Amino acid sequence: MIVVAFVVLVAMLAAYVLLDGYDLGAGAVHLFVARNDAERVAVMESIGPYWNGNEVWLIAAGGALFALFPQVYASSFSGFYLPFMVLLWLLMFRGIAFELRGQFPSDLWRSFFDVTFAVASTLLILVLGVALGNIVRGVPLDAGHYFLGTFTFLLNPYALGVGLLAVAALAQHGAAWVAARVDGAPAARARSALKILWPAVLVLIAIVTIVTFAVHSPSANLRAMPAIALAPLCSAAGLAGVAVFSLQRRPRRAFEASTLFLAGLLASSAATVYPYLLPGYPAPQTGLSIFSAPAPPFALATILPVAIGGLIFVAAYRTFVGLRLNAGRVKPR
């Protein structure tokens, strides 16, 4: 039951990254792929029906963490409180920019919110990547599992490297989305951006993977569960697909390949830290694992079926809505 709870939590976080990832990425690249007001409106319209719903997955994951692993939730906020506040402000600035951009017919007004939208989206990806990097590396915890480090400790080279990888990977995801969903010049520029982004992602993923084996090696988990080697293989296949399909000018396939790449990358991260949700630093075993910090058995038995049912229902609804709305491409007007 505890392992199922871990899988449900990872699935919710993965759903957030895969779904909100493309509209975050589109925000990060939209100043480069859209050069005038009509093109930028088209890029925003392509993500308009989805971005609010996509962010619900982050709230759902936070609620699942609180319900299934309350001690991990408490310890995470003791160390990541300031980053979480930064995350919330960036989410607010991004939403404000999206909603207020078209309220006044002023070029200065629109340009300000265009830049705000791009900067907030990029920094949001960076903060999430830095958080993931610190989870993989581990954080210093005392005997009561309170965070012992500082905010500057979280900005260590490894975590920043993971943050840069996250920015490049989600910018690639967003460019693939724009190429697939927007017509005209923005799509052409997005395809050109993909030809630059996938080599950058390849270099960064190679560096981060090498350093990860030194920081928190997944070797023991690979020996115990050889099947998890499929995750990095899927990630490699997805990145290769982005490269091939972008050259073949098949944007929908490139977007699907980018989704596979991110899913494999997230599964690899989960396999690296398993069974820990918050590894300790410098020794992972001083942290919190799914076996040392779950909710009481009665709470797990009560909450887990609800979480699984909700996950299936929301995923089915999101798929249904996506199929209905993905019929055409947005044209700049």
Tell me how crowded residue 266 is: count the other CB atoms within 10 A of its CB: 22
Q: In sequence order, what are the residues at sequence separation of 6 or more whose Cβ sits closer than 8 angstroms to the Cβ of residue 266? A: 10, 13, 14, 17, 18
CA distances from 228 to 73, 192, 268 (A): 26, 34, 7
Q: In sequence order, what are the residues at sequence separation of 6 or more whose Cβ sits closer than 8 angstroms to the Cβ of residue 245? A: 251, 253, 254, 257
Distance CA 113, CA 104 (A): 11
pLDDT of residue 283: 79
The answer, yes or no, to whether residue 327 has pLDDT greater than 60, is no
Per the prediction, the chain carries an average pLDDT of 87
Instruction: Report CA Rg, the chain.
Output: 20
pLDDT of residue 67: 86
Q: In sequence order, what are the residues at sequence separation of 6 or more whose Cβ sits closer than 8 angstroms to the Cβ of residue 91? A: 55, 120, 124
pLDDT of residue 323: 61
Residues in the chain: 333
What is the value of pTM for the model shown? 0.92
Single-letter code of the amino acid located at 178: V
* Per-residue pLDDT reduced to its tens digit, 74-104: 888 777 788 888 888 999 999 898 888 878 8
pLDDT of residue 222: 66
210-224 average pLDDT score:
75
* Per-residue pLDDT reduced to its tens digit, 27-38: 999 999 998 888
The answer, yes or no, to whether residue 108 has pLDDT greater than 70, is yes
* pLDDT-derived band at 241, boundaries 50, 70, 90: very high
Most confident of 146-150, 175-179, 217-221, 290-294: 175-179
pLDDT of residue 282: 82
